[in-house]
Amino acid sequence: MNLIDAAFAPGRTVLCPFVTAGYPSLDMLGPTLLAMQAAGAGCIELGMPFSDPIADGPVIQESYYRALSAGATVSGILRAVGGARRAGLTVPLMAMTSFSIIFKIGTRELAEACRDAGFNGMVLPDLPLEEAPAVVEELTRAELRASLLVAPTTPSTRRDEIVRWCNGFVYYLSVSGITGERAALPTGLEEKIADIKKVTPRPICVGFGISSPAHVRALVGKADGVIVGSALVRRMTAAVQAGTDPAEAAGRFVAELAVGLTSA
C-alpha cells in the first residue's frame, strides 16, 4: 500500500507540514524531515524550489530564492530525501512540483526518480487540467499519488473534473490568493469541504493560511489533513537569523501544531 493511502485513515486528521527542499541548505533537509516526523507530522509536503512560483507568498518565495542560490537542484534534493529515508524517515512524502520542472525533466523520468528516492506522490499546483490525464497516468505507473488544487472560486463543474484526477488527496485552498499566515479561517470552510466530499472518496487536505494550533483544532473532524507552510518556513528563517538550529525550530513548531490534533 502507498504510504499516502495508509496515512489518511477514516476519521483521522493528519498534520501535513510544508518545507522548502534545500532551505536553508540541502544538508539541513534530512534533519528537518526527521525532526518534523518526531514532532507529530503525519505526512510531509516538500516544495521543489522554482524560480517563478505560482501562488506562493513572500515567505516561501524567499525560501525558494535562497534554496536555489545555495545550489539546490532536483538531483540533490532526491539524494537528500534518499538519505533521510535511510536514516529512518517513514512518514509519507509529497513533492510539490511545478509543471515546468516536470516538463523539462520528463514526467516518467521524474516520477521514477522521485519514487526511487522515497517520495510517495506529487502535489501539482499549476498542472493544466488538460495535461492531468497523461501526468497522473505516469505517476500512477510509478506507484505515486497525485494531488491537484481546488480553490474557493473554482466552478463546481471544473472542481469535479480536477477532483477526478486526484488519487492521493485533494488539496483545497482555504482562501483565494497566495500562501501566507492569516489570523482566522474563512467562514463557510466546513461547508466547502463537505461539498467536495460529496463528489470524491479521496481525503481533503486544507492549506493556505493555516498557521496555528487553533486553526488545526478547528479543522479536526472536518478536513482529513491540515497543511501548514509559511508559518513553519518563517520560524526556520528566524532560527537561521538567530544562529540557531532551523531543523529544531521546525520540529518545535510542528509539535505545537500537533497539540491542536489532540485537544479538539
Question: What positions carry a catalytic annotation?
Answer: 45, 56
Task: Give the integer Cα–Cα distance in Å for 233 and 90.
Answer: 22
Residue 137 grid coordinates: 497516468
> Contact at 8 Å (CB) between 254 and 36?
yes
DSSP for 6-24, please give it. Answer: HHS-TT--EEEEEEETTSS
- How buried is residue 71: exposed, middle or buried, by Cβ count under 10 Å (0-12/13-18/19+)? exposed
Q: How many CA atoms lie within 13 A of 165 on its CB side?
A: 24
For residue 180, the surrounding DSSP H or E stretch is: none
> Contact at 8 Å (CB) between 109 and 135?
no
Question: At residue 167, what are phi and psi to the nearest 5 degrees?
Answer: -115, 10
